[in-house]
A and B are shown apart, each in its own frame.
Chain A
Amino acid sequence: MGALSDMNILVVDDFSTMRRIIKGLLLDLGYGNITEADDGLTALPMLKAGNFDFLITDWNMPGMPGVELLRQVRADERLSKLPVLMLTAEAKREQIVEAAQAGVSGYVIKPFTAAVLKEKIEKIFANRTPTAA
Chain B
Amino acid sequence: MNAVRQRAVSNAAWVEALRHALAHNDDQAFMTALDGLNSLQDSSVMSGVRQVASDLQAALEQFQSDSRLVDLAERQVPDARHRLAHVLKLTDDAAHRTMDLVEQSCPLIDALTREAERLSTTGVDSSLHRDNLTADMARFLGTALVNTRAVRGKLTDVLLAQGYQDLSGQIIRGVMKLVDELELALNTLVRIGNLQVLPARQEPGTSPQGHGPVVPGVAHGHTVSGQQDVDAMLSGLGM
Contact = CB atoms under 8 A, between A and B. Distances in A.
Interface of A: 13, 15, 17-18, 20-21, 24-25, 28, 60, 89, 110-114
A110 B166 CA distance: 9
Nearest to A62: B173
| Secondary structure of the B contact surface, majority rule | helix
A28 B169 CA distance: 26
Contact of B166 (A18, A25, A113): A18
Interface string B126-162: 0000000000000000000000000000001001101
A21 B166 CA distance: 10
Interface of B: 156, 159-160, 162-163, 165-167, 169-170
Contacts of A89: 166-167, 170
B162 A17 contact: yes
10 contacts: A15-B165, A15-B169, A17-B165, A20-B162, A21-B166, A24-B159, A89-B166, A111-B160, A112-B163, A114-B160
Contact of B160 (A13, A15, A60, A113): A113
Given A17-B162, A21-B162, A111 B156 contact: no
Given A15-B169, A17-B169, A114-B160, 7 more contacts: A21-B162, A21-B166, A89-B170, A110-B163, A110-B166, A111-B160, A111-B167
Given A15-B165, A21-B162, A110-B163, A28 B156 contact: yes
Closest 4 pairs between A and B when the two form their complex, measured CB to CB: A18-B166, A15-B166, A17-B165, A24-B159
